[in-house]
Amino acid sequence: MTNIQEVFDRIQKTKKEQKELKTMYRDALNNSGAYQRSMEELKKLKEEKKKYEDGVKQEFASEFDKLEILKNELMNDNQLLSDMVVSQVAKGQKIEIKDEHEVQYEPIFNVRFKKVG
């Protein structure tokens, strides 16, 4: 059986190879004149799009304020739900959640690692 360190090392090696290939791809694009011209045109179109969006945002300022409040409430409720589920799972309780259409949901757990020090 493969141990955790071996799998971690394999993931690190794959990430490094992926990064190298992406760098080669970006370098090839940066050396393409047609690509550079397209990027300049895209930049101009994005600036024009941004002007239109800003104009509409000014017209709907109160709606965007409400949207920000809803976004924060959703983030807080998601964190609360996550904490409640972890607590129930730790106690060995079964989790049953259904939406308004009686579709059942089950929790999915994800483990990530963070550098120490």
Mean pLDDT value of segment 106-116: 90
Same domain, 48 and 68: no
Q: Which pLDDT value is given to residue 2? A: 72
Task: Judge whether 94 lies within some domain.
Answer: yes
Same domain, 104 and 65: yes
Mean pLDDT of the chain: 94
Dist CA 14 CA 93 (whole Å): 38
Looking at the 3D structure of the chain, how many domains does it have? 2
Note the pTM of the prediction, 2 decimals: 0.59
Same domain, 37 and 74: no
Same domain, 65 and 53: no
Domain that holds residue 69: 61-111
Which residues face 105 on adjacent strands? 97
Q: What HEC string does the chain produce? A: CCCHHHHHHHHHHHHHHHHHHHHHHHHHHHCCHHHHHHHHHHHHHHHHHHHHHHHHHHHCHHHHHHHHHHHHHHHHHHHHHHHHHHHHHHCCCCCCEECCCCCEECCCCCCCCCCCC
Same domain, 38 and 70: no
Task: Give the tens place of pLDDT for each residue, 48-82.
Answer: 999 999 999 999 999 999 999 999 999 999 999 99
pLDDT above 70: percentage of residues in the chain: 99
Same domain, 74 and 98: yes
Cβ of 39: how many Cβ atoms within 10 Å? 13
Same domain, 65 and 105: yes
Task: Judge whether 13 lies within some domain.
Answer: no
Task: Judge whether 38 lies within some domain.
Answer: yes
Task: Judge whether 75 lies within some domain.
Answer: yes
Is the confidence at residue 1, as pLDDT, over 70? no
Task: Judge whether 34 lies within some domain.
Answer: yes
Task: Judge whether 10 lies within some domain.
Answer: no
Task: Judge whether 116 lies within some domain.
Answer: no
